[in-house]
A and B are shown apart, each in its own frame.
Chain A
Amino acid sequence: MPPVGTVRTTCAYCGVGCGVSATPQADGTVAIAGDKLHPANLGRLCVKGSALGETVSLDGRLLYPQVREADGLRRVSWDVALDQMAAKWRAVIDEHGPDAVALYVSGQLLTEDYYVANKLMKGYVGSANIDTNSRLCMSSAVAGYKRAFGEDLVPLCYDDLELADMVVLVGSNTAWCHPILFQRILKAKEARPNMKLVVIDPRRTATCELADLHLPIKSGTDVWLFNGLLSYLSRIGAVAPDFVLEHTNGFDAALAAASIDCADPAAVAKVCRIDPALLLEFYEAFAATAKTITAYSMGVNQSSAGTDKVNAIINCHLIGGRIGQPGMGPFSITGQPNAMGGREVGGLANMLAAHMDLERADHRDVVQTFWDSPAMADKGGLKAVDLFQAIEDGKVKAVWVMATNPIVSLPDADQARRALAKCELVVASDIMQNTDTNAYAHVLLPALGWGEKDGTVTNSERRISRQRAFLPAPGEALGDWKIISLFAQRMGYAGFDFPDAAAVFDEHARLSGFRNHAEDIPRAFDMSGLAGLSGDAYQELEPVQWPARRDAAGVIHSEARLFADRRFAHGDGKARFIATATRAPANAVCEDYPLTLNTGRVRDQWHTMTRTGKSHTLADHISESFVDIHPQDALLHGVREGELARISSAWGAMVARVQHGGGIARGSVFIPIHWNGQTSSDARVGALVNPVVDPVSGEPEFKHTPVRIDQFRVNWHSFILSRTEVNLDSVAHWTRIQGKAFARYELAGRNNIGDFGAWARALLGVADLDADWLEYEDKTAGVYRAVHVVDDRIEQCIFLSPRQDMPSRAWLASLFAKDQLSEIDRVGLLVGMPVEKGADTGPTVCSCFGVGRNTICNAIVEQNLETVAQVTACLKAGGNCGSCVPEIKKILVHTRAELAAG
């Protein structure tokens, strides 16, 4: 049973990791508030977090294990599903070796889930073929930190953002993607107006609106910019020579590499396509501000030079020794709620566990000894993009996808689809029944979702927080750690008999401290202080940053920021400058694909929308996928704002609505990542993205794909609001948008519709000819509107036009909140807008001329009319057939009597 009352937990979304207070209500809803005691957010929540309560319904949930058979999915018991999986895995491993199976997991998993998954693959199956969607998100940041510091270490904490004198946001639309951090920065800036905010982003995003300086550099030129900065800092002497000498290696090589083509700011400005004065302003400000934080996200990481970008940034901090002190340092802000937890347990194919390395025999020995496991992977496994290539090539024959949707989110996503279609066994653990990926799964396993599952997550500042359950487990869903453990046990592996999540956490904490001494295998990642917690203590665990060690007295010591002692994790204790030679994105624009595609998030959606897509509140901000393009490019390529366009690359194509005003520079387009086969007919931007990866991190280049854009000509536009699901198989283009008590569909088609009424009834599934069905038809103009009413309540409506000149959806949407339509509402239904009562003319007296009683009375009084003839002369009433003349006479007598009575 879930606990009652208010439960403190952690948000399901981004890497800020805000504390959330969830209070289940008697009516089944959940009241959501920010947790005032959580250090990440201190009670604040962004719009996505605030709407979490709207996402916990069981609509569309995957509730039972299912197995695909010839005629579709069949519900089975856990035993049957797991036995079937285990038999196949054993057969594949026996015949093809352990590298023929793989896990593809997710930053949505809790640390406990992640830990067990990693343990299964690396210690028992004996393969490192476990990778995660975090590969797509921040693996370049990991690789950059490891190269510079010797371990994946975020040196600073959120408080530093408030202590800095300058915050440089690189490739990060923080205002939309990490709203609470952005609010903290803004608040600090409000208190100290001298604090500088610099944004480096090819797009003029919402984040730029409050920046002191925006450098709209050309996509992919970050290394030029920061190499230029390194060179500049060196030249003007903004250097900490002692720090560089005593605590770093590689400075000369890095400076030499930077100086090849970035020594001249004017040349750098030209490559970056920005005003040289702007560039120098930034360089000067950076040189002059000791307490500077450079924070970066996907704009840096998702690049074929992502790791070099990270190191180019870190180099600029090392040269001035700007690290390890309050208010300064290079700060990777992660995208997912538990990307960091995944890094800690070794959830990437090139990591082991607890920040140890696969390649090092001594590290492998530590882990294998601790696990007492029968096998141990000894080389890196397949990273995400390579993994799906290997699946398509038939090298990997069984894949288990957990809590992620690779057919939507991977680059060259159609390749991922081909891969899964060919794979012998695809297992998907998910919370939703229908996803693009589940369509290719042979086995579906129901997992617990946010609010139901229980464990820990780590945010971008190394802070471990509890995610706690406050809802009962629905159907037969289980926690991911439990599912993996059950599977491992069926595979015959010992070491998976965890009684609960706390036991997993305890093992993870103990491993982090195992042989973690200066004289043995020292690691900065150490949360051994959290080992040995009682069940209650785990349940009550307050947010805590690692390292977290216990002193002799048993008191836990946690570190807010690292490297204060200027000791780094490389063997010699020094940090490393990395020489970052400039290189352009792998695929350049060309005649066929003349525009650069940039992808990213919108403010109110998350990933592939399985959760945020359920919220009507979040649907209002941006309801359809779009392609943002500069108006001059639109003109050049023959597309128009508000209309549909087909965007294609050498890898795939999609359709989205053209918009301007997203702050895009000429030569680029921007498309959001969220829409997929469940929410739209053809809006998976992943299909277009080039499958190029960074050579070090393996992170794909999501921010730079050459594309073209063409008009997507349609014959008609339509929208539907419906309480029930609509069959859209026959529609060329559609997007589904969640509303309150209904779903909205925006449609467009290329076919010629013969019989509008029959078409609409088929779409809405209204076969009953006696249904309460209102319709309006202007056949030659191609305009049709129909409303289906059931028991005086609006059930569905559909509007069709050859142009996009249809009424606003807002008023119609509001009618879905009513249990009964009023008469005046009903009149307005087909108009699509409210019909104002207006001046009430009263009941009709003269039908020939449509004159009402009130109109006649008013005329009699105002114009002092005395005879029927005068009334007729004035209002026409009574002037045709004369049948109302007697009535007009009566009205005259009555009204004049009233007048006389005064």
Chain B
Amino acid sequence: MNTSEAPPARQALVVIGNGMAGMRTVEELHKLAPDLYDITVFGAEPHGNYNRILLSPVLAGEKSMDDIMLNTREWYVQHGITLHAGDPVEHIDRKKRIVRARSGLEVRYDRLLIATGSKPFIIPVPGHQLRGVLAFRDIQDVETMLAMARNHRHAVVIGGGLLGLEAANGLQRQGMSVTVVHVGDALMNQQLDKPAALLLQKALEAKGLQFLMNAHTAEITGTDRVTGVRFKDGTEIPADLVVMTAGVRPNIELAKAAGLHCDRAIVVDDTLQTYDPRIYAVGECVQHRSATFGLVAPIWDQARVCGAHLAGAGVRRYVQQTSPTRLKVTGVDLYSVGDFIGGEGSEDLVLRDARRGVYKRLVLKDNRVTGAVLYGDVKDGPWYFGLIQNRTDISAIRQNLLFGEALSARAA
């Protein structure tokens, strides 16, 4: 029996970013090689790892903070991971292979994983730095909004995309009078075609939300804190709270400063490796084959590939796939995936039942589904998603395709 031999010195893995992408990668790594690294995680937020996607239900009062925690501090301890929450990394020294945090703490790495995510885009209109102008990104934002909702009346959400509508819904659920301001004429134009967007707008209006479409914000008014929003046409509405949900930008300053090759985001290859072979990156801060990411499904895929490569068992390649979108507003069922706009050479299947609040559209090309927008009845969304991913020839089931999986099976 030989126990005297010391364990071999382990390699050091430093993770910048305590978010969903970074920690999912660590979990994937752990599944394959739990003892390979000494792992140190730096996070800007003073929390364990939580599910950012679920901030909307928290804001809406449907879930608590406890509900959305993914990895508590105990989990880090149990897994022998060193966590520095609330201490963001400010410098990477690639030559020395050292990172330095705001606190001055320096940690050496053999492998570095950058998962800094993205930053909300704050439209630089006059007044954007007033108190009461927020983004909707983290627990801090949610807590601020919840606090404001307790004693303020008027909320304005700028940006009628997925995040904006979830924020508006949450604030409205917290008792505020909410106006959504959107530059286009259709909500969620990244995910919905116009008929679905109109149905959605009607449904949300029925819930009490107000909409200003084709509205261009000129200024956020107020002296110390926000009091209103003024538009280019001169009209103005009162606001105690302005939430900016006009998109996100990959958070790449640190990587750039370290001299990593970046374009719109940190450029990675199919193994999620950056141009520095010791440094990997995952999540919303990466650019893979000219695409950037905002949804969770591709990030889970990245985490799986990256984890495998960090574990040294890396034969996997990351392949981009379409991912579906849903809106987390209770009572609104919405599912969108793929190329739902179509165009030359594509075909449409459309079903409308306005009274029941159902709209479905499939886009076909060469007898294959390439996109789907489902509103009101989304239960077949994953099935269509599967048809898209598998490039299934649907000629034989076309007749009942839009009526769902069960009926298509019956007809075939």
Q: Select one of A781, A883, A886 contacting B398, CB under 8 A.
A: A781
Task: Evaluate contact between B326 and A848: CB separation under 8 angstroms.
Answer: yes
A143 to B353, CA, bound (A): 66
* Complex: A830 Cα to B358 Cα, angstroms: 12
Once A777-B350, A778-B398 are accepted as A-B contacts, the answer to whether A835 and B407 lie under 8 Å apart by CB is: yes
* CB neighbors of B among A799-817 (8 A): 805
Q: Does A774 contact B (CB under 8 A)?
A: yes
Do A850 and B380 form a contact, CB below 8 Å, given A773-B354, A831-B407?
yes
Contact assessment for A883 and B352 in the assembled complex, using a CB-CB cutoff below 8 Å: no
**Interface 9-mer from B32-40, B51-59, B252-260:** B51-59
Identify A778's interface contact among B326, B349, B381, B406, CB under 8 A.
B349
Which residues from 63 to 81 on chain B have a C-beta closer than 8 Å to any C-beta of chain A?
Answer: 63, 67-68, 70
Bound state CA distance, A711 and B73, in angstroms? Answer: 79
Task: List, in ascending order, chain B residues with CB within 8 A of A848's CB.
Answer: 324, 326, 382
Contacts of A780 in B (CB 8 A): 347-348
Q: How far is the CB of B209 from chain A (nearest CB, A)?
A: 21
Interface positions, chain B 346-382, Cβ under 8 Å from A, are 347-356, 378-382
Q: A779 to chain B: which residues have CB within 8 Å?
A: 347-348, 350
Chain A stretch 838-882: residues in CB contact (< 8 A) with chain B = 838, 844, 847-850, 879-882
List of B residues within 8 angstroms of A885 by Cβ = 51
Say which size band chain B's interface belongs to: 35 or more
Q: Does B297 contact A (CB under 8 A)?
A: yes
Asked, given contacts A826-B356, A880-B297, A886-B67, whether A831 binds B400 with beta carbons under 8 Å apart, the answer is: yes
Is B407 touching A777 in the complex (CB atoms < 8 A)? no
- Is A275 close to B, CB under 8 A? no
For residue A838, which residue of chain B has the nearest CB? B406
Q: Is the CB of A883 within 8 A of B350?
A: no
Answer whether residue A212 sits at the interface, using C-beta atoms and an 8 A cutoff: no
For B354, what are the chain A residues with a Cβ–Cβ distance below 8 Å? 772-774
Tell me the minimal C-beta distance from A587 to chain B in angstroms: 47
Interface SS of chain B: helix, strand, loop or mixed? Answer: mixed
Contacting pair A844 B379 (CB below 8 A)? yes
Partner of B352, one of A775, A783, A886: A775
Question: Are A850 and B382 interface neighbours, CB within 8 A?
Answer: yes
Question: Is A789 located at the chain interface by the 8 A CB criterion?
Answer: yes
B82 at the interface (CB under 8 A from A): no
Distance between Cα atoms of A885 and B50 in the complex (Å): 13
Contact of B51 among A836, A838, A847, A883 (CB under 8 A): A883
In the complex the two chains form, is B379's CB within 8 Å of A775's CB? no
Contacts of B231 in A (CB 8 A): none
Complex CA gap A849/B406 in Å reads: 15
Select from chain A the residue with minimum beta-carbon distance to B323. Answer: A880
Chain B nearest CB: distance from A143 CB in Å?
59
Q: What chain A residues lie within 8 Å of B355 (beta carbons)?
A: 772, 774, 789
Bound complex: CA A253 to CA B5 (Å): 136
Do A776 and B402 touch across chains, with their CB atoms under 8 A apart? yes
Select one of A789, A831, A833, A882 contacting B54, CB under 8 A. Answer: A882
Verify B296–A847 contact, CB threshold 8 A. Answer: no
User: Closest CB-CB distance, B43 to chain A, in whole Å?
Assistant: 19
Q: A850-B382, A880-B296, A886-B63 are in contact. Are A830 and B403 (CB under 8 A)?
A: yes
| Cβ distance A892 to chain B, nearest Cβ, rounded Å | 15
A776 and B351 in contact (CB under 8 A), knowing A831-B407, A850-B382, A883-B51?
Answer: yes
Least CB distance, B348 to chain A, in whole angstroms: 6
Mark out the residues of chain B between 280 and 310 whose CB falls within 8 Å of any chain A CB in the assembled complex: 296-297, 300
* Distance A198 CA – B54 CA, assembled complex (angstroms): 85
In the bound assembly, the distance between CA atoms of A779 and B351 in angstroms comes to 11
Taken together as a complex, chains A and B put the C-alpha atoms of A898 and B60 apart, in Å, by 31
CB distance from A888 to the nearest CB of B (A): 12
Bound CA span A779–B67, Å: 46
CB distance from B355 to the nearest CB of A (A): 4
* Contact across chains for A883 and B403 when beta carbons are under 8 A apart: no
CB-defined contacts of A775 to chain B, threshold 8 Å: 350-353
Chain B residue nearest to A846 in the complex (CB): B382
Instruction: Tell me the complex Cα distance, A461–B384, Å.
Output: 71
User: Which B residues lie within 8 Å of A831 (CB)?
Assistant: 400, 403, 407
Contact call B406/A883, Cβ cutoff below 8 A: no
Q: Quick check: B53 and A881 within 8 Å, CB to CB? A: yes
The CA of A882 and the CA of B53, in the complex, are separated in Å by 8
Contact check: which of B296, B351, B379, B380 meets A881 at CB < 8 Å?
B296
Give CA–CA (A879, B323) in the complex, Å: 13
In the complex formed, the residue of B with least CB distance to A805 is B399
Contact partners of B347 in chain A: CB under 8 A: 778-781
A777 touches B403 (CB 8 A): no
Chain B residues lying within 8 Å of A838, measured Cβ to Cβ, are 406
A782 to chain B, nearest CB (A): 11
A775 to B352, CA, bound (A): 5
Q: Give the residue name and chain of the B residue nearest to A776 (CB).
A: B351
| B328 part of interface (Cβ distance < 8 Å) | yes
Q: Is B406 touching A835 in the complex (CB atoms < 8 A)? A: yes
Instruction: Give the nearest-CB partner of A830 in chain B.
Output: B351
A772 / chain B contacts, CB cutoff of 8 Å: 354-355
B121 at the interface (CB under 8 A from A): no
For A882, give its contact among B51, B351, B356, B382 (CB under 8 Å): B51
Q: In the bound complex, do residue B54 and residue A883 qualify as a contact, i.e. CB atoms below 8 Å apart?
A: yes
Q: Which residues of A contact B350 (CB under 8 A)?
A: 775-779
Query: What's the minimum C-beta distance from B23 to chain A, rounded to whole angstroms?
Result: 12
Whether B326 lies near A774 (C-beta < 8 A) is no
CB-defined contacts of A886 to chain B, threshold 8 Å: 63, 67-68
User: What residues of chain B lie closer than 8 Å to A781, measured between beta carbons?
Assistant: 347, 398
**Distance A273 CA – B363 CA, assembled complex (angstroms):** 61
Q: State which residues 24-47 of B face A: CB under 8 Å.
A: none
Beta-carbon contact of A883 and B382 below 8 Å: no
Measured in the bound complex, the distance between the Cα atoms of B38 and A883 in whole Å is 30
Contact partners of B351 in chain A: CB under 8 A:
774-777, 830
Name the residue of chain A whose CB is nearest to the CB of B402: A776
Collect the chain A residues with CB atoms within 8 Å of residue B54's CB: 881-883
Complex: A881 Cα to B354 Cα, angstroms: 29
Residues of A within 8 A of B382 (CB): 848-850
Q: Which residues of B contact A849 (CB under 8 A)?
A: 382
Q: Are B407 and A774 in contact (CB under 8 A)?
A: no
Task: Return chain B residues, CB-CB under 8 Å to A783.
Answer: 399
Pairwise interchain contact B297-A847, C-beta atoms closer than 8 A: no
What is the distance, in angstroms, from A438's C-beta to the closest C-beta of chain B?
A: 41
B352 / chain A contacts, CB cutoff of 8 Å: 773-776
Contacts of B57 in A (CB 8 A): 883
> From residue A893, how far is it (CB to closest CB) to chain B in Å?
14
**Digit string of B218-259 for contact with A (CB within 8 Å is 1, else 0)?**
000000000000000000000000000000000000000000
Instruction: Write the nearest CB–CB distance from A871 to chain B, whole angstroms.
Output: 16
Chain B hits for A777, CB < 8 A? 348-351
B380 CB contacts on chain A under 8 angstroms: 850
A773-B354, A848-B382 as given contacts; A880 in contact with B300, CB under 8 Å: yes
Q: Which residue of chain B has the shortest Cβ distance to A885 in the bound complex?
A: B51
Residues of B within 8 A of A830 (CB): 351, 353, 403
CA distance A886 to B57 in the complex (A): 12
* Chain B residue contacts of A773, Cβ below 8 A: 352, 354
Nearest-Cβ distance from residue B67 to partner chain A, whole angstroms: 5
How close is B386's CB to chain A, nearest CB, in angstroms?
10
Bound-complex Cα distance A847 to B335 (A): 9
Across the interface, name the chain B residue whose C-beta is closest to A880. Answer: B297
Residues of B within 8 A of A789 (CB): 355
8 nearest A-B residue pairs (beta carbon): A780-B347, A774-B353, A772-B355, A777-B350, A850-B382, A886-B67, A776-B351, A831-B403
Where the two chains meet, the residues of A that have a C-beta atom closer than 8 Å to any C-beta of B are 772-781, 783, 789, 805, 826, 830-831, 833, 835-836, 838, 844, 847-850, 879-883, 885-886
Additional 7 contacts, C-beta under 8 A, given A780-B348, A880-B297, A883-B328 = A772-B355, A773-B352, A831-B403, A850-B379, A880-B300, A882-B53, A886-B63
Question: Can you report 19 residue pairs joining A to B where beta carbons are below 8 Å apart?
Answer: A774-B353, A776-B351, A776-B352, A777-B348, A778-B348, A778-B349, A780-B348, A781-B347, A826-B353, A830-B351, A835-B406, A836-B406, A848-B382, A850-B380, A881-B53, A881-B54, A882-B51, A883-B54, A883-B328
